[in-house]
Amino acid sequence: MSARMKNPAMVLSDAMQGIPLLYKAMHKGGVEQTTLELVHLRVSQLNGCSACVHAGVQTAKKAGESDERLHAVAAWRETDFFTDAERAALELAESATRLTDRSNPVPDDVWDAAADHYDEAQLSALILMIATTNFFNRINITIKEPAGATWG
């Protein structure tokens, strides 16, 4: 499998200049890296982005995430592998990704559950991870970036 074209962020290299700053800010937000990686993985699963699912699993494992939990992310509601805070982050990620599933995409109960576990800086980090993952998912799906592809 090969992509339709080079990644647009590589073709228009100026597009990549802000991305490292986003990630740096996210990781300074006070959310555990493993939680951010779980959020990234779940968003990528929902969007069907094989490149980001593949990369997300690798990055999560480097951050110390277990195979058992990674295999269960798609069915996180049906396991006891995740903390209440992680569950709230995953629910927020799903709601903020599946915007057309309901008239109020991120209802108050979803927001309140996340706000019960995370302060404003942490919520900001989670929202930025969700948005950035959706950004990359849409690029990779459009160009058919294959899992395991390397940029550059």
Specify the DSSP class assigned to residue 31.
Answer: -
d(CA 48, CA 114): 24
Specify the DSSP class assigned to residue 151.
Answer: -
**Residue 152: its pLDDT value, please?**
47
**Residue 114: its pLDDT value, please?**
98
Q: For 105-137, what is each residue's pLDDT tens digit?
A: 999 999 999 999 999 999 999 999 999 999 999
Q: For 18-44, what is each residue's pLDDT tens digit?
A: 889 999 999 999 999 999 999 999 999
Give first-to-last CA distance, the chain, whole Å.
17
Is the pLDDT reported for residue 151 higher than 70? no
Instruction: Kindly list the domain boundaries of the chain, sorted by start residue.
Output: 28-143
CATH 1.20.58.710 fits 28-143, yes or no: no
Q: For 69-97, what is each residue's pLDDT tens digit?
A: 999 999 999 999 999 999 999 999 999 99
**CA-based nearest residue to 74, from 55, 51, 47, 105:** 47
Sequence-distant (≥ 6) Cβ neighbours of residue 5 within 8 angstroms: 11, 143
